[in-house]
Structures are given as C-alpha cells and as structure tokens.
Structure 1
Amino acid sequence: MLDIFATDPEAKAQREEREAKADAARRPEWAFQFRSGKRNGNQPVSLREWRITTPRHDTAKALRELFGGTISEAPNGDYALDTELDRIEVIVDASKIESKLILWADGHPIHECDGSKFLSPEEDKGKPCDCPKLLDERKEKAKQRRGPKPNIVVPVRIPQDEDLGTGKYTATAWSFAEDFPYVMSQLKAIEGEALCALRLDYIEWEKNGKMQSFVKPVMTVIGSYQDAISQDPEPDA
C-alpha cells in the first residue's frame, strides 16, 4: 500500500491536523430549514410567511400536511414549501444553538468572532477582533461589507412530527441578535428542551408621508417542552 508519509512523520501530523479541522468545520445534514427570505433573481426578498426548504420530497409533503402551502423547487435544487403561516411552534435545545458574527467572502468566512474575540482561524482564536464597541458602528461596517454580521444557528424539531428529524433556522438579522441574549436567558431557565415560536412580525410605520415596512424574525419561548407534553390530553382509546 502506498505510504507517502513513511519517511516524513511531520507532514503526516500536519495532514491529520488539517483533516481534523475539516471534520470539525463540516456542517451537519439538516432535514429542513426555515427561511424568512428568498431570492428573486439576484435580489433578496423578505417574506411575511415562513418558507421551509428540504432536500427530500417526502419531507416537503409531510410538512405541507402539517402547515399547508405550496411546494416548488428552490434555486439550489431543494424543495421549497411556501406556507401561509407567520408563526410556527418548534422544539429548541438551548445547548445546541450556535451564535457568532461572520464576514463572508466568496462563500467562505474570513472573519468569525463573538463580538470581542476571534473564534477562528485557530492561530487567532481568543485574540481581540477589534470590532467596534458601539452597535450602530457594527451595523454600519457590516452594511459596508467591511465587518461581520450575526449568524445564529438554531436547531429545531417539529413537535407535531419529531420523526421529520432536526432542521434549523439561521438568523442573520441584527434585530434577532439584539433579542438573543434575553431569549437565551429564558431558555437556560428551562430544564431540558423548550417549546418556542418562530414568528415573522410585519412592522409598518409612516415616515415623511410615506409608509415604510420591514419583516422582523422573532423567537419567543413558550415554556418547557416536557411540561407541554404532560399537559396534552390523552388520546381516546
């Protein structure tokens, strides 16, 4: 058998280290994804009702049975279920939520931090990231694509059909990130998994005689999932 590392153990160790990092960076396979927006050509469009994408047609059909809506093909080849719901209940495990700030370039993260320290690459991990201290300045740099923006990955399961597996919602809105510490404090006060609601709130106001609007993704904590199960009435025999 070919062994190109037989005479160079240092090169072998370097290769194994790269493989370990690659394994750690690989994302899990998600059964489905909640989406609060889509693309119309090259233009991003915010949605007022949830879109759920999945690589499996049977999962899309099962989700349609639960939530209604229409199934179409997403740009990446997945199936997309466009619901008519702006609120859907999900099961959330706080210990599995990942939150960071990321600046992307050509599909790769070039800056990952927790707001004050680098999270990657390994040689910079723990060092100050030099992001602005003020929130408005962070937002402005992100808007100019010179600074990172929120990337909060919330793994979720569907309480009506847990056999569908684990999906996720990835929040990138600053409004979601601003609420996140308070939501996490509520989640951590619950023992075990929580029953939560993912909402899309349509916000409208008048400015200089013209109506302005945006859609705000929100996650609210309803309570303990185990408590919710125990309170469900037993089905008739």
Structure 2
Amino acid sequence: MTQSTAAPAGRFHTGRLSEGRPQALEAWRVTTDDADVAARIAGLLGGEPRPNEGTGSTGLAYEVLTSRESVRILLDGPDAVAAHMVLWGSVGLIHHCDGVEFLSPEEKKGRPCGCPPLLEDRKLAARAMRGPTPSVDITFQIAAAPELGAFHFMTASWQMAAQLSDLTEALERVNGPAVCDLTIELVVYTSKAGRGVCYRKPVVTVLGSLDTIAPEPPPVAEPVPAPAPSAPRRKARLAPEPTTPPVPESRRSVSVGVDADLLRSAAQVLGTGDHQETVTAALSEILAGRQQTPELAQLREHVGRIAAIAGQALQGQESSLT
C-alpha cells in the first residue's frame, strides 16, 4: 500500500461544533464530500449519513456520527504520520517547526527553532502564548474497506504528541503496512485537589502486519445467561408443613422490590461478583453515559429503589442485599 495522492475520502473527528460551541464526542465522527462514502461509513461503523451541521473549518458536506470509539485502520509506515509545531497570530502563521528546526518560512527553514526540549516546558510556553502547539496529521485507510481511500485525522492533542516517538518506532518495526486501532480513549483520574477528572484522548495502537492481524476485531461474545434453577420436586405430604414464621419488618424492607434476576443479569454484563459491586459498577457506567444494554437501562431505573432499600437495611442493622 502506498500513500495516495488523490483527494482524501474524508476526515475523522473527536468533536464537532454544536450551535457554535465545541462538543466532545464519545465515538468517532466522520465527514466527507462523497454521499456514497458516507453511506459506506454508516454501514461499517454505525450511525446515519446527514448534512454536516458541525462543519467548523472542514467544509465537507456530510457527516456520520458513528457508534464506534475504536476503528481498525491501516498505516503505511512512519510517513503516514506528519507532526509539526505551529503558532498562529493575528497575521497568520508566525511559528512553524518540528520541535528542533524551523520548517517555514523558507529563509528560516533548517535553523534551530528555539523550542524547549522537554514536552512539559513546551506546554507551558504554549499556554502563555509564547510557543507553538502540536499539529498532528495521520493518513490512513479503514482496514475493513481500504477501497474507500485515504482518511485523515488531525489533532492538536499533547497526549498524541507525546506518543509520536513510540508510534513511529512501532511502525518501523512492522516494516510495511501496519494494522492499528485508532481509539478515543476514556481517561479517569483524581486530581491532587481530590477532584474527579474525566476526559477522552485519541490513541493509536500498532497491532502488527496485515499477515498477522485481522482487518476487524473479533466480535465480543454475548454473556450466556445462567440456566434457571429447576423447581425441586415436592414430596407427598404426610403431615401439615410447619408454618413459616413471619419475616421481621427490617428484613422485609430489604427484600421487597429487589429484583434478584435483574441483579444477576447485570452482574453478567458488568463482570461483577456480588450485589454491592454490581450496583457500584452500574452507577459508574450510568454516570459515564455508557449504558448500552437493556440490563443496564433497566438497572438504572431501579438504582433509586436499591439505594432506598440499602438505607432502610442500614437503619435496620442489615448489612447485605438479599
């Protein structure tokens, strides 16, 4: 595979403009001027082709808001990744380098650019508007449909800039077209001030050569629900069965309204081991906006009830859901 000199088939984006405001996305957005390409993208990655309302500076006619946060792509060696450092001013481009030497204008090309060697120092200079920011352009094909042509992903992500040296080395080791995953990765951490921070960053993972890696990841097997326990056989009564003593009020408050089958089903989806862990994991999924299964959607409706039941259980000195 060689880099195509034809016009790109389209662009991949991690965000869009919505009513004039930037909006970060959880799945890839693809823009293109070709209606047929838009239809193929929707068939491959989910979503529906529609007029591009979040045009920004691309000016491409169609957009597809896909359902995929990771896409398997083909990169044709290190040359598929172009990385510059740029600083724009009111008069246009005022600094253009590769981090070591100027790339333009012609009279400065090849001269030392003066950028700090450390990435953190470059970030500080950029925040103070005294230094350039990254401009990374990745040219690739969709592994499952290379006939669609070349796509671009352009980003100013400092995280992507920090990944570039490892990325180019990995592409060199493949020594030919490399199968990669282009992913919008969720990052969650707690800051030094104790605040929860959540954001998404683009990541390219080199998987291997075309001979060793499939153009599409294998499908994820759906969890197999556990068979319902068979009802025990009832023996012929020889005498009246003893009456079951009444359940104490505190325990009844714990039992009423808890859908054990729902919790078990959600545990299979979430991979959790007990009810408490299931509820915690479900809350995390819901807060992250990632409830994509009927089990989680149903569990979301029950979270308030489960929380109330848990509170009653604590008041009644009960410590577990039944």
TM-score tier by shorter-chain length is: 0.7 to 0.9
Alignment partner, residue 85 of structure 1: 68
Separation (CA, whole Å) in 2 of partners of 1:106 and 1:161: 41
Partner residue in 1 for 2:12? 34
Task: Give the counterpart of 2:150 among 166, 181, 185.
Answer: 166
Per-residue deviation, 1:180 = 1.1
Aligned residues of 1:55 and 1:77 also touching (Cα < 8 A): yes
Matches within 5 A, 1:99-110: 99-105=83-89, 108-110=92-94
Distance 2:118 2:207 in 1: 31
Shift of the alpha carbon at 1:106? Answer: 5.7
The offset of 1:209, in angstroms, is 4.7
1:221 and 2:206 correspond: yes
Which of 90, 97, 112 is equivalent to 1:128? 112
Q: 1:229 to 1:211 in 2, by over 3 A?
A: closer
Kindly tell me: are residues 88 and 138 of structure 1, through their superposed partners in 2, closer, same or farther at Cα, counting changes over 3 Å? Answer: same
Higher deviation after alignment, 103-112 or 83-92: 103-112
Distance in 2, matches of 1:107 and 1:44, equals 24
Secondary structure in 1 aligned to 2:213?
helix
Q: Which residue of 2 aligns with 1:187?
A: 171
Q: Any unmatched runs of 5+ in structure 1?
A: 1-26, 231-237
Alignment equivalent of 2:26, drawn from 48, 55, 60: 48
Gaps of 5+ in 2: 216-322
* Cα deviation 1:2-42 (Å, max 9, x = unaligned): xxxxxxxxxxxxxxxxxxxxxxxxx9621111111212344
Counterpart of 1:39, as a letter, is L
Q: Aligned pair in 2 of structure 1 residues 201, 226: CA closer, same or farther (>3 Å)?
A: same
Partner Cα distance (1:137, 1:151) in 2: 17
Deviation at 1:137, TM superposition (A): 2.3
Pick closer, same or farther for the CA change 1:102–1:28 going to 2, 3 Å: farther
SS of the counterpart of 1:122?
Answer: coil
Shift of 1:145: 3.3
Cα distance per residue 1:172-210 (max 9 Å; x no partner): 100011111011101001121000000111112234454
Q: How many residue pairs end up in the alignment?
A: 204
Deviation at 1:52, TM superposition (A): 0.8
> Among the aligned pairs, what percent are the same residue?
31
What is the CA–CA distance in structure 2 between the aligned matches of 1:71 and 1:143, rounded to whole Å?
Answer: 37
Residue of structure 2 in register with 1:150 after alignment: 134
Q: Could you say if the C-alpha distance between residues 148 and 37 of structure 1 is closer, same or farther in structure 2, counting changes exceeding 3 Å?
A: same
Write 1 or 2 for the structure with the bigger share of strand: 1
**Is the 2:80–2:140 contact (alpha carbons within 8 Å) kept by the matching residues of 1?**
no
Could you say which structure has the greater relative contact order, defined with CA pairs below 8 angstroms and 6 or more residues apart? 1
Distance 1:213 1:70, change over 3 A: same
Higher mean C-alpha deviation, range 31-40 or range 137-146: 137-146
Give the aligned residue type for 1:158. I
Alpha-carbon RMSD: 2.2
Q: Distance in 2 between matches of 1:165 and 1:103?
A: 31
**CA 1:152–1:212 in structure 2 vs 1: closer, same or farther (change >3 Å)?**
same
Q: TM-score, normalised by structure 1?
A: 0.78
Q: How many angstroms apart in 2 are the aligned matches of 1:28 and 1:136?
A: 37
1:52–1:77 Cα change, 3 Å:
closer
Partner Cα separation in structure 2 for residue 148 and residue 73 of structure 1: 34
Whole-Å Cα distance in 2 between the matches of residues 156 and 195 of structure 1? 10
With structure 2 as the length reference, what TM-score do the two structures score? 0.59
For 2:184, the equivalent position in structure 1 comes to 200
